[in-house]
Amino acid sequence: MNAYEEYMREISQPMRDELTNAGFDQLQTAEEVNEFMSSNQETALIVINSVCGCAAGLARPAAIESLKSEKKPAKIMTVFAGQDREATAQMREYFEGIEPSSPSMAIVDGGELKHFIPREQIEGYEIEDIVEQLTTAYQKYC
């Protein structure tokens, strides 16, 4: 690992911890993504995490806040764009027809994408708006 990669890993650790401390499981390799997507039979929220400001100020807080909803996904997972590149690229393969976007959030049921919130529906929005997008999707799919 070069100095830049080591620095970025160190910098991004608190951003990982924000989600894992809230109960999210990380998928860090393409194999872990494939295993999860092929074996999971429940609804899951998948957060594609990022180091950008809208991930810190909007996406992560909204994802965590949305889990206070009565109806919510059975599983909560995360991949980290720019850090776990192979895992992120593999997860995006499951989001057929969706442009790569980070941060972003997906609701899957089994291995099937049911709902997707791209960066364009996160950046510039209020946390409450994003929480509402998520909880509305939970009502429909969970």
pLDDT tens sequence across 10-45: 999 999 999 999 999 999 999 999 999 999 999 999
Is 54 one of the annotated active-site residues of the chain? yes
Is 142 one of the annotated active-site residues of the chain? no
Which pLDDT belongs to residue 53? 87
**% of the chain surpassing 90 pLDDT:** 89
Over residues 45-53, the mean pLDDT reads: 94
Q: What is the pTM of this model?
A: 0.95
Q: Which of 51, 54, 56, 67 is the catalytic position?
A: 54
- Give the separation between CA 17 and CA 41, rounded to whole angstroms: 26
Q: 106: which 2 tokens?
A: 């997906």
Q: Hey, which CATH number is domain 24-141, 3.40.1480.10, 3.40.30.10, 3.40.50.1370, 3.40.50.300?
A: 3.40.30.10
Q: Which of 15, 44, 52, 142 is the catalytic position?
A: 52
Q: Which residue has the higher pLDDT, 131 or 2?
A: 131
